[in-house]
Amino acid sequence: MPRRPRISPALRVATLVPAVFVAVLFGWPLVALVRRAVESHDAGQGIGQLLEAADGWHLLALTLAQAVASSLLSLLVAAPIVWLLATVRLRGAAILRILVTVPFVLPTVVVGVAFRALLTGPLDFLGVDGGWIAILMAHVFLNVAVVVRVVTAAWLQVDPRTVEAARTLGATPWRAFWDVVAPRIAPAVAAAAALVLLFCSTSFGVIVILGNGTARTLETEIYQQAIAEFRVPEAVALSMLQIAVVACALVLARLLGGRGTVSGVSVVGREHRSPVGGLRWIPVIGTLVWAGLWLVLPVASLAVRSVRPDGRSWTFAGYRALVDTTFGDSPLMALRYSVTSALAAMVLAVIVGFLVAVSVTRGGGWAAQVTALFAVLPLGVSAVTLGFGYLLVVASLPRQVSASPLVIPAVQALLAVPVVAGIMIPALNQVPTGLRDAARVLGARPLWVLISVDLRLTVRSLCAAAGFAFVMAIGEFGATTFLARADTTTLPVMIGTLMSRPGLDNVATAMAASMVLIVVSAAVIAAIEIVGVGGTSASARPHDDRPHDQERV
């Protein structure tokens, strides 16, 4: 087992920063929720009674049913794309990976608007403008990336010589797949399904936009009870139930992920992807068309509807309205705040996430384990539940603190820290220990070793982690909805507000603002794909297919 490098006392103290950061920003709102739940119980209303009053058990069944259905549909839609990326050497594969990844990092409210444009535009003949069918379609669009990244990485690590041996013994291609490949990727398929289940059980923006006021889940009902009806005890009870559900889904994803996922891509798998030729072009083209229908058509429909909101005449009124301040702050001002807030959140997330990675890879011991546990804890609670907890906390603070412009960036950073840590831990593990030893022999202090060796060799991974943190922060909708004020309204929150208002002009503005967020997110993901996540050193393994989304948990 490789020797873990020593960590200086100063770095050891610095690695406690993530624990303190998460304990304050994550523990405080949860304690506020639990305290309010206890107070409600002491007042004579038990959690069970409150759940009955809020129809909690029925909402739990609906939440789990739509999450399971979304997981199964995501597996079916992603299957051809996984086959293409895992077995075919195709020019432009990086573009396909970008198309697959962009939906996953888009704000969920933007995805809801995109599918509203799709279902009332090209797919208007289906007669579906919202409801559960539309929600399931949007969830598939969002989560195909999870399945593709995780399962493709596992497939690429299957030794092709075992497949060739099966073929030599007379197995058909299908038989070789089912007997050799399928058992080896089955744990990764299960892990991907569990992750999709986790994400869909906490879906908020999609259901708010596409639910038509009738589709409800635990997530949306927490917001309804807390904000619209101000029934705080019922909202707290639903939050407690939501925490239990998401915690179970997170444990399931962790257990399956430990069995079936991988941290890198083997050279053997990558070198044995075969080129396209002859009749093989038929399934390849079919798969590309399939991917386009699911991943490109919704965005293209939104782009068209943003300049043709009524479906008949062309106009740029929605884009002109981005600078309109007639009724208060314009969407452009909200975008400016969103970018500023996301940049601040990115800096916080990168610092905290990098310190988590340093603690795990260089510290060792119980302190590193505690730090790593604290870093992933925010994934165990939905953003809406967390936002509701913050609402209770902020209400008890002095206005100077509650009105601070750092509140929203801090919450956004908290949700992005697990992504940064997930990318940086394998990157730091790839740094050769001998380089650190050589730097220490030459007289470098531990901090300078960290900067001149670890940080220098993982700078591309750090840039990619920063990019993911930025797009997650700029698109955060659930928690920010509870915390946004007139002067701290983010663009996703404004889009949700515009979509809830009557009038074609509001819809056009919301669609134009959504296109702005899509362009920003796509540009960042393209930059990440170009920079790469894993090229940390000459000894680093190939990184093009590393499952970023798998490392999120």
Reported pTM = 0.79
What is the rounded distance in angstroms from the CA atom of residue 333 to the CA atom of residue 74? 36
Q: Which two tokens stand for residue 185?
A: 């990727």
Q: State the helix-helix crossing angle for 383-395 and 232-260, rounded to 10 degrees.
A: 140
- In DSSP notation, 206-275 reads HHHHHSTTT---HHHHHHIIIIIS--HHHHHHHHHHHHHHHHHHHHHHHHHHHHH--SS--HHHHHTPEE
**Per residue in 416-469, pLDDT tens?**
888 888 888 888 888 887 887 788 777 777 777 777 888 888 888 888 889 989
Q: Where are the alpha helices (DSSP H) in 380-501?
A: 383-395, 399-402, 407-429, 433-441, 446-449, 456-457, 459-475, 478-483, 491-500
| 71 has a pLDDT exceeding 90 | yes
Half-sphere exposure of 157 (CA within 13 A, CB side): 24
Residue 192: is it exposed, middle or buried by C-beta count within 10 angstroms (0-12/13-18/19+)? buried
**Per residue in 251-272, pLDDT tens?**
776 676 554 443 333 334 444 5
Q: What is the pLDDT confidence band of residue 115, given thresholds at 50, 70 and 90?
A: very high
| 234 has a pLDDT exceeding 70 | yes
**pLDDT at position 449, please?**
78
Q: Where are the domains of the chain?
A: 9-552
What is the rounded distance in angstroms from the CA atom of residue 397 to the CA atom of residue 167? 68
Q: Which of 251, 226, 145 is nearest to 479 (CA)?
A: 226
What is the rounded distance in angstroms from the CA atom of residue 373 to the CA atom of residue 161? 39
Partnered with residue 89 across adjacent β-strands are 275
Assigned CATH class of 9-552 = mainly alpha
